[in-house]
Amino acid sequence: MTQLVVATGNPGKLKEMQSYLEGSGWELTLKPAELDVEETGTTFLENARLKASQVAIATGQWAIADDSGLAVDALDGAPGLYSARYGKTDQERIEKLLAALGDRGDRSAAFICALVLSRPDGSVALETEGRCPGEITRAPAGSGGFGYDPIFYVPETGLTFAEMDKDQKRKLGHRGRAFEKILQPIQDLCPAP
């Protein structure tokens, strides 16, 4: 198996990526804890490129990174790149977003996930973006998931992300859609051991 460093310090994200890449020939590991990459990009894709390339160069290994967030149309794409920093807690972020939207009729939004795979020299081997369109509810619903999941409603299912089971969210979610696009190419790129 060829080692693939996941450009995150989050064990949960490592586990999630492992589930998408199971049987791909890659052995996923977390980036070194002391290696921090400043996200200075102006798009999700730019931030994912920065993280994947810098972690690949620093470790001398293949690296994969994602950057994702929630873009609300009526808020000019906010919280966008700042989705995780929109408040100190999930509850605070949800309350702030609902207050910013107020009684607006247009509640359309999308979760976006950019994925980038970099070679050990830092050059980009693959990149893609997955989007899950939906709407922001007026109040939280459901107890699963995390972040904005209780207020992100997917019309095709009639459920918020927090009301979906893990398999349904994995298939319909932004990260799942991004991985679906690069799963075969990423398997094809796996160097022989």
Instruction: Assess whether pLDDT exceeds 60 at residue 192.
Output: no
Identify the residue with better confidence: 3 or 192: 3
67 is catalytic: yes
pLDDT, average across residues 45-73: 96
Sequence-distant (6+) residues with CB within 8 A of 65 are 6, 7, 8, 48, 49, 50, 51, 52, 55, 115, 116, 118
Average model confidence (pLDDT) for the chain? 92
Q: Is the pLDDT of residue 77 over 70?
A: yes
* Segment 88-109 mean pLDDT: 96
Q: In this model, does residue 19 exceed pLDDT 80?
A: yes
pLDDT at 183: 83
Instruction: Evaluate the CA torsion angle 177, 180, 181, 183 in order and state its sign.
Output: positive
How is the chain split into domains, by residue range? 2-189
* Per annotation, catalytic residue among 67, 73, 90, 106: 67
pTM of the model: 0.90
Q: CA 119 to CA 117: how far, in whole Å?
A: 7
Question: Which CATH architecture is the domain 2-189 placed in?
Answer: Alpha-Beta Complex (3.90)
- Determine if the peptide bond prior to 79 is cis (ω within 30°): yes
